Chain A
């Protein structure tokens, strides 16, 4: 599904403050893989995720998604395959717009936004049903600005929004970093459920060792901009939290 070859990303190239964020990184992610990326701060995890999403363009190397070379495509043209959940709950939703309007935008992720009214009763009912599945009682508040909700509620809604339109790849950038433990748990469970239910390919960056252990079928440790460890399904089952913890020792 995603094939990354010889990827490099250097910030401020040739200057004193040059940062080589990604160095000759190769990574192949199969369809239906749920890859968890761990690594110390500055190891290039977020840059890698941003390169896949297209909000950062690589210095060299190629990224192929579903057979298409997307290396030079801007982020908004990759939305036909990719949906994202950001570390900051504010980034994944438009706070002043209502829940319904946010969902409407999400439902049009791969399509053009025309001059017709899309927030119809039929659409509202459809969103109500989806939101009710979260069990947060938000289905009664669809007209409320999404910015009035808590971070956990917004992250959970962002996940639902991701699957409002055809989706192949879900990118999660520390989705629970800003949340309390209970909301974090709920968001991770929702993510896992959606990924399985819709057969998505998912890449998650996290600092939470427990999540890296619990979720996903593959764990990748990054260090200094390249892959240090890559542990697949069978072997991952044999890991325990303490072992992953030791990687950071």
Chain B
């Protein structure tokens, strides 16, 4: 039982990445892989500040700002210097590795002896249940805030930017500015995941972000299957499905590991799993025809 609870908790931690990828990929239509770097950045900032005794809520704010800054860099490189978005993301991600390492000063910072988010509130005696409650609260607030933003006039503008650029420019919107804001928001969410997971696992590691973008992509793709099958147009439902996607994704990985598969094969399994969820619906649909 605890095994699956851990998977759910991990899924909730990764929901920031999933929401971030949803915003960059689905709303802005930009393939952004700054993720690997901004996730570790969120973790690094959290570890450094928490181990210096700052309060977890203040640290959250700084971690999000750091992620937003990284995303804005990608956005500016893409829009102002006209660099392909994928390359812009790779550049910033690469640069962030050094930034993160300098921030941390070493490759791993343990956090077990410091106050963290999950010890702020003590409702259950079982620490996992307590963590679950706090994570649910965090993720729920993220979903509420983002669905509110996306339904405001500004949010409609964001959604139109990725949907029809000619249209939204003729409506008086500077699309470059919108993309920079969008990528900043997406990476602030990604950094939030770094913040949540660092405290959950009790340490920050310079390599924690390697290949993490796939966790976000996988979650969004799982959510997409539901969104298109059930023809969902509501933004808040889509966001909740993205979170559910993140949980399913982590649960499947946990399940494969529990079957006794070598942990060193985890990334290979992850890649195959994502390939399956991308291709299966298409193959099945073909058969139905």
Residues of chain A touching chain B, judged by Cβ–Cβ distance below 8 Å, are 53, 55, 74-77, 79-80, 82-84, 86, 90-98, 101-102, 104-106, 108-111, 113-119, 143, 145
Say whether B156 contacts A101, CB under 8 Å.
Answer: yes
| Interface assignment of B167: CB less than 8 Å from any CB of chain A | yes
- CB-defined A-B contacts under 8 Å, sample of 19: A55-B169, A76-B171, A82-B170, A83-B170, A86-B166, A90-B164, A94-B167, A98-B233, A101-B156, A105-B160, A106-B171, A108-B153, A108-B171, A113-B152, A113-B157, A113-B173, A115-B154, A115-B155, A118-B153
Say whether A76 contacts B172, CB under 8 Å.
Answer: yes
Q: Which size class do B's interface residues fall under?
A: 20 to 34
Question: Of A77, A79, A114, which is within 8 A of B152 by CB?
Answer: A114
Tell me which residues across on chain B come within 8 A of A77, comparing CB atoms. 172
Instruction: Kindly provide the distance from the CB of A102 to the nearest chain B CB, expressed in whole angstroms.
Output: 8
Q: A95–B164 Cα gap in the complex (Å)? A: 7
Instruction: Kindly provide the distance from the CB of A220 to the nearest chain B CB, expressed in whole angstroms.
Output: 23
> Closest residue to A85 on the B side, CB-wise?
B170
Closest 4 CB pairs of A and B: A79-B172, A94-B160, A94-B163, A118-B153
Give the residues from 121 to 175 in chain B that come closer than 8 angstroms, CB to CB, to chain A. Answer: 149, 151-157, 159-160, 163-164, 166-175
Q: A192–B160 Cα gap in the complex (Å)? A: 28
Q: A91–B168 Cα gap in the complex (Å)? A: 9
Question: Of B164, B170, B233, which is within 8 A of A79 by CB?
Answer: B170
Say whether B152 contacts A105, CB under 8 Å.
Answer: no
Say whether B233 contacts A145, CB under 8 Å.
Answer: yes
Residues of chain B touching chain A, judged by Cβ–Cβ distance below 8 Å, are 149, 151-157, 159-160, 163-164, 166-175, 233
> Closest residue to A164 on the B side, CB-wise?
B171
Q: A102–B160 Cα gap in the complex (Å)? A: 8
Say whether B163 contacts A96, CB under 8 Å.
Answer: yes
Say whether B233 contacts A118, CB under 8 Å.
Answer: no
Question: Of A75, A97, A98, which is within 8 A of B170 by CB?
Answer: A75
> Closest residue to B152 on the A side, CB-wise?
A115
Say whether A53 contacts B170, CB under 8 Å.
Answer: yes
Q: A116–B171 Cα gap in the complex (Å)? A: 18
Q: A96–B175 Cα gap in the complex (Å)? A: 17
| Chain A binding surface, main DSSP class | loop
Instruction: Kindly provide the distance from the CB of A87 to the nearest chain B CB, expressed in whole angstroms.
Output: 11
> Closest residue to A106 on the B side, CB-wise?
B171
Say whether B171 contacts A75, CB under 8 Å.
Answer: no
Q: A97–B157 Cα gap in the complex (Å)? A: 10
Known: A94-B160, A97-B160, A145-B233. A116 touches B152 (CB 8 A): yes
Tell me which residues across on chain A come within 8 A of B157, comparing CB atoms. 105, 113
Given contacts A76-B172, A105-B160, A113-B157, 14 further A-B contacts (CB under 8 A): A82-B170, A91-B166, A91-B167, A92-B166, A94-B159, A94-B164, A95-B164, A97-B160, A101-B156, A105-B157, A105-B168, A105-B171, A116-B152, A118-B152
Q: A115–B154 Cα gap in the complex (Å)? A: 5
Instruction: Kindly provide the distance from the CB of B271 to the nearest chain A CB, expressed in whole angstroms.
Output: 29
Q: A233–B166 Cα gap in the complex (Å)? A: 33
Tell me which residues across on chain A come within 8 A of B152, comparing CB atoms. 113-118
Instruction: Kindly provide the distance from the CB of A108 to the nearest chain B CB, expressed in whole angstroms.
Output: 6
Say whether B167 contacts A115, CB under 8 Å.
Answer: no
Tell me which residues across on chain A come within 8 A of B170, comparing CB atoms. 53, 75-76, 79, 82-84, 92, 109
Instruction: Kindly provide the distance from the CB of A135 to the nearest chain B CB, expressed in whole angstroms.
Output: 24
Q: A160–B156 Cα gap in the complex (Å)? A: 19
Instruction: Kindly provide the distance from the CB of A226 to the nearest chain B CB, expressed in whole angstroms.
Output: 26
> Closest residue to B155 on the A side, CB-wise?
A115
Tell me which residues across on chain B come within 8 A of A109, comparing CB atoms. 170-172
Q: A143–B169 Cα gap in the complex (Å)? A: 23
Tell me which residues across on chain A come within 8 A of B173, comparing CB atoms. 76, 113
> Closest residue to B234 on the A side, CB-wise?
A143
Instruction: Kindly provide the distance from the CB of B239 to the nearest chain A CB, expressed in whole angstroms.
Output: 15
Question: Of A76, A82, A97, A104, which is within 8 A of B174 by CB?
Answer: A76
Instruction: Kindly provide the distance from the CB of B45 to the nearest chain A CB, expressed in whole angstroms.
Output: 26
Q: A106–B167 Cα gap in the complex (Å)? A: 10
> Closest residue to B26 on the A side, CB-wise?
A96
Say whether A76 contacts B153, CB under 8 Å.
Answer: no
Tell me which residues across on chain B come within 8 A of A108, comparing CB atoms. 153, 171-172
Tell me which residues across on chain B come within 8 A of A145, comparing CB atoms. 233
Q: A110–B173 Cα gap in the complex (Å)? A: 9
- Residue in A83, A84, A105 whose Cβ sees the most chain B Cβ within 10 Å: A105
